[in-house]
Amino acid sequence: MRVLWRIDGDFAGTEWKRCVIDVLSTDAVSIQPQDAVLIDGWGGAATLRARVRLVEPQAFTKISALGVEEQRVNVIADPVDALGPLGDGYRIEARIIIWSAPDVVKVPGSSLFRVGDAWHVFVVRNGRAREREVRTGQRNQDETQILSGLKRDEIIIRYPGNQISDGVRVTSAAP
């Protein structure tokens, strides 16, 4: 599942409710009408669902918390679930699912590193780190799909530092 994470938004409209989510314009180009939206951070325990109705065609400039000018685009989503007490101007956190597939092999992005133009991981095999080239697919800020080069349930090394190299002895930490 490829998700655009932790996008701030709010609810607008008094006659019927809709979710207005502002996203970076570079992310907006990947969002399509009918994409699923997961809503958290609204004050309740449940994750609420919505569907993208519209990606507005015009961007606007917004200053980030770090003082950086960003080009943003509003995404309008219609609720699928009952929204309970949510009202006009309420803050939410939305995740827009722009890709998903069943049974994919995925790794934390922190386990990948570049060697030239190729992506590699370290796999733990017989107590040793083994460097392996992998072919990547979809990704988000946390995870990356592996198309080839790695089997499901193989143990990989996250955050491989300079002390890890092919053949070095390693011990596995409990998951």
pLDDT in tens, 4-36: 333 445 555 444 578 889 999 999 999 999 999
State which amino acid sits at residue 44.
G
Q: What is the pTM of this model?
A: 0.72
Tokens of residue 100, six digits: 């998903």
Continuous H helices in 47-124: none
Cα 134 to its chain centre, rounded Å, is: 20
pLDDT band of residue 90 (cuts 50, 70, 90) is: confident
In sequence order, what are the residues at sequence separation of 6 or more whose Cβ sits closer than 8 angstroms to the Cβ of residue 152? Answer: 105
Identify which of 164, 74, 83 has the alpha carbon closest to the alpha carbon of residue 123.
Answer: 164
